[in-house]
Amino acid sequence: MRDSYYDQLDTIVDDLVALAGTVRGAVAESTTALLDADARLAEAVIAGDAAIDEVTDGIEERALLLLATQQPVAGDLRQLVATLRMVGDLERMGDLSAHVAKIARMRVPDPAVPSPLHPTIRSMAMVADSMIDAAARIVANRDVVAAARLEDEDDEMDRLRKDLFRTILSDRWEHGVEPAIDLALLGRYYERIGDHAVSMARRVVYLVTGELA
């Protein structure tokens, strides 16, 4: 009976890691849709958010069932509590990817991002991708050291967002109000994706050490 219980715990962790890969794909595709004004890809990301929600609901239900039926203690309890929090982080990252895609769709046939800002948005997307990948590996390996390093990438995301805002607010800004609003929202979306990756890493620290980061 206990072997089955631990198999279920391991499967939940595996599913979290797999879901992180799906979310990475959504972030990448929403960014491509944004920069290329690709309405079809934007629609696919938006539609795909429902599938992400379905997977997160399934993981959450299984974790809650184990909590209710197995009465876990100590490390097992921390594992399930951390799982419930991390699955929420992944679901929100999927939502944020859909928000990016919705901005892309709204501005088609024009790109939502003026071409001079493409490198900044591309850099934010790359940092977000790296952070989600790192968070997945941290979850899979319970790597507390890597969890601490992820904070440095979050600093880079914050720097990129500040650079974006400085550009929008500059006297040299010549692209109008709507692109400025879009970019302010996009900067926030990518930053929040990074924040959720950091949150996942901190849950792993809690899981391993029992201490909240």
Contact 103, 45 (CB under 8 A): no
- Residue closest to 117 by CA, chosen among 163, 154, 157: 163
Query: 3-class DSSP state for residue 213?
Result: coil
Contact partners, residue 138, CB within 8 Å, separation at least 6: 146, 147, 150, 200, 201, 204
Distance CA 37, CA 57 (A): 31
How many independent structural domains does the chain possess? 1
> Phi then psi for 170, rounded to 5 degrees?
-70, 150
pLDDT in tens, the chain (213 residues): 567 878 898 999 999 999 999 999 999 999 999 999 999 999 999 999 999 999 999 999 999 999 888 877 777 888 898 999 999 999 999 999 999 999 999 999 999 999 999 999 999 999 999 999 999 999 999 999 999 899 889 999 999 999 999 999 999 999 999 999 999 999 999 999 999 999 999 999 988 887 766
Query: How do the residues of the chain divide into helix, strand and coil, expressed in percent and rounded to 5?
Result: 90, 0, 10
CA dihedral 186, 190, 193, 198 (to 10 degrees): -140
Distance CA 30, CA 126 (A): 12
Contact 59, 19 (CB under 8 A): yes
pLDDT at site 196: 97
Distance CA 2, CA 70 (A): 9
Range of the domain at 130: 2-209
Place of tokens 């990448």: 28
pLDDT at site 213: 61
Which residue intervals of the chain are DSSP H helices? 2-36, 39-70, 74-107, 118-141, 144-169, 177-209
Contact 22, 52 (CB under 8 A): yes
CATH of the domain at 84: 1.20.58.220
- Residue closest to 45 by CA, chosen among 61, 34, 56: 34
pLDDT at site 6: 83
Residue 108 corresponds to which tokens in the numbers above? 């088609």
